[in-house]
Structure 1
Amino acid sequence: MTRSIRTAAICATAIAALAAGPALAQGKGKAAKARLLDPAVADDALEISKRVQCGEADGKPGVYHWSGKVYSRVAGEPDRLLFKAEGMNIRTCTTVDDPVRGKGWRLVSRELLLYLDPKTGEVVRQWDNPWTGEKLDVLHIANDPVNQSPQFPKSASGTPYSIPTLRREGRWFFMPFEAPLFYTNPLQGEYQDWVGGKYHAMEIFDFAFDAEEMLDTKNPTAYPTVSWVRISDFLPWMKMRGRQGQLVFNAMGNKLKSADELPAVLKAEIAANYPIYVAPPPVDDKRPNETSWTVFKKWVDARKPAK
């Protein structure tokens, strides 16, 4: 997801998680007796979030997959189906201790989204822009890394950790959140507050998971489903030259038991062109997060002829 599941650093804003505490007995290293987590307790809420986000244990990969479509929306014309899409995020978590805020965790990840031909389902290498008539090379989303800040039982101000959007309906938990984005666009100049050019988008995530699987600590993790919507400007590689319009991404997916469950098109593309996506970044990764816009800037700058 572009800043998520792209922004999964997005993901960081609203679905964070932690602590191996409930899973291990202190001191002896033996498995603690299974119990039910209580979402109203800060440590347990943190553990629930960790089960949404992470793999089974520190350093063990977790994989999300999502599948959907990409539409254009331009005033005065019908919406167009531009692409189908297949995406994945591979991540892992590590325990982080803070003397004041307690034992928490940090997530590191990288994510990939492929644009597919809506009729054939094949990976699109070049795209005929229907508005300009140009044939353009396609830059698929390949953001590495997409990491999150550490999450703890207490915030910096001492507020207990909670998941305010979490609600239960029968056997299901639902955890929706919206991430409105409005920040400096790396492709624009330094006067964006005066003349515009800011990156403006919204990402919407809706997680759903089985309450019994999530709350019972006998289960080392949980396997939620997720829906993802992104509304954003046209992508820079589309070379729209400031034309009015937006893109609407709509996808659904889930956390997988392993990367072996990814669809064939993703596994083939990773093997051929994105080999590092078989594993998450190292847990001590200190690199700044990438987005579709920062990756594009490096991509287009590398293609400029030498002066």
Structure 2
Amino acid sequence: MADPAGNLKAFVRTRASLGPEDTVVWWTGNVHAQVPGENFRQLFRFEGFSIGRIEEVDGGYRFLAREAAFYQDPRTGEILSTWANPVTGAEDEVLHIWNDPVNMELLLDGPRGPWRAPVTEVGDEVMWAQDILLAYPSPLPVADFPDNSADDMYRAAELFQFFCRRSDLDRADLASVPCRFSWARLSPWLPWMRMGGRPGGLVFHCHGTKLGGYDELPEHLRKYVAEHNPSYAHAPEEWSAPNETSWTYFRKRYPGGIGQEPPV
């Protein structure tokens, strides 16, 4: 694992696959509200998946992917279309996550320097950690989106852990090794919540696993995707940029903020 090329190849086999097939990872968990001076409050169950494939390029790999995730009733697990906001009392339209693309370049010598994915080994357990700490100009400036944005800078933390077995990595015949993972995100209120600059934000906490293919996703997710966006049954065919986020997707749907009709 100390060799950058070996580290990179092992990470790609853990997160995705060196083969031509699509890789599907599924997760489930909860979304909590955190407000200064108040107890945490569960707002949603949260379930989703990523579907992607690896391309080998000079100096490493590209991961071409899209992801979908859905806010669910915390008691029943039903995918919501509207939500009664307990903070504002408003009935909000729920804007689920349809991020296409969510691409990554995994290079031995990339824009941030030489490749090195932090990894810990204990016995046969291999544990990868990725702390992605984000701070960049928000796609939703407060002056233009006062009800949907808390700051002119988007600040969030995406915290991943991937788990596999060294005995699987040592098998040269496995292009993809079994993987489990956890993910946490600390973020501002979502734009569609219309919480503006209210103090506080959201804590996402999920866990998941790599599946054998799209057909192994829970049936209710496959049915929802088939009805609303069937392209998410396959990984993207070509590289594109920039990546989509909940904030850029909101701006495309509501270029003038909530209250404007979505573009045709």
Q: Same fold (TM over 0.5)?
A: yes
Q: CA deviation at 1:158?
A: 8.1
Q: 1:40 to 1:123 in 2, by over 3 A?
A: same
Aligned to 1:200: 155
Taking the aligned partners of 1:156 and 1:145, their CA distance within structure 2 comes to 20
Aligned to 1:271: 226
Question: Does the aligned pair in 2 maintain the 1:96–1:150 contact within 8 Å?
Answer: no
Question: Does the aligned pair in 1 maintain the 2:18–2:54 contact within 8 Å?
Answer: no
Q: Name structure 1 gaps, 5 residues minimum.
A: 1-38
Aligned to 1:253: 208
Q: CA deviation at 1:196?
A: 4.9
Residue 79 of structure 2 corresponds to residue 123 of structure 1: yes
Question: Does the aligned pair in 1 maintain the 2:100–2:243 contact within 8 Å?
Answer: yes
Equivalent residues, number: 255
- One of 116, 119, 136 as aligned partner of 1:162: 116
Aligned to 1:53: 15
Alignment of 1:1-307 (within 5 A): 39-58=1-20, 60-97=21-58, 102=59, 104-152=60-108, 154-155=109-110, 159=114, 161-163=115-117, 165-188=118-141, 196-282=151-237, 284-301=238-255, 304-305=260-261
Aligned amino acid, residue 188 of structure 2: D
Q: Name structure 2 gaps, 5 residues minimum.
A: 144-149
Q: Encode CA deviations 1:43-75: one digit per residue, 9 max, x unaligned.
A: 2112101102223513x2000111000000112
TM-score (norm 2): 0.90
Aligned amino acid, residue 121 of structure 1: G
Identity among equivalent positions (%) equals 35
Q: CA deviation at 1:297?
A: 0.5
Aligned amino acid, residue 238 of structure 1: M
Q: Encode CA deviations 1:233-252: one digit per residue, 9 max, x unaligned.
A: 00000001211111000000
Q: CA deviation at 1:170?
A: 0.8
Taking the aligned partners of 2:42 and 2:239, their CA distance within structure 1 comes to 37
Q: 1:155 to 1:218 in 2, by over 3 A?
A: same
Q: Encode CA deviations 1:1-45: one digit per residue, 9 max, x unaligned.
A: xxxxxxxxxxxxxxxxxxxxxxxxxxxxxxxxxxxxxx2223211
Taking the aligned partners of 2:22 and 2:163, their CA distance within structure 1 comes to 20
TM-score (norm 1): 0.78
Q: Whose Rg is larger? A: 1
Taking the aligned partners of 1:280 and 1:155, their CA distance within structure 2 comes to 23
* Higher-strand-fraction structure: 2
Q: CA deviation at 1:225?
A: 0.6
Taking the aligned partners of 2:180 and 2:208, their CA distance within structure 1 comes to 6
Aligned amino acid, residue 88 of structure 2: T
Question: Does the aligned pair in 2 maintain the 1:225–1:254 contact within 8 Å?
Answer: yes
Question: Does the aligned pair in 2 maintain the 1:48–1:215 contact within 8 Å?
Answer: no
SS in 2 for 1:149: strand
Q: CA deviation at 1:150?
A: 4.4
Q: CA deviation at 1:80?
A: 1.0
SS in 2 for 1:45: helix
Q: CA deviation at 1:132?
A: 1.3
Q: 1:196 to 1:135 in 2, by over 3 A?
A: closer
What is the RMSD computed on CA atoms of the aligned residues?
2.2
Question: Does the aligned pair in 1 maintain the 2:94–2:192 contact within 8 Å?
Answer: yes
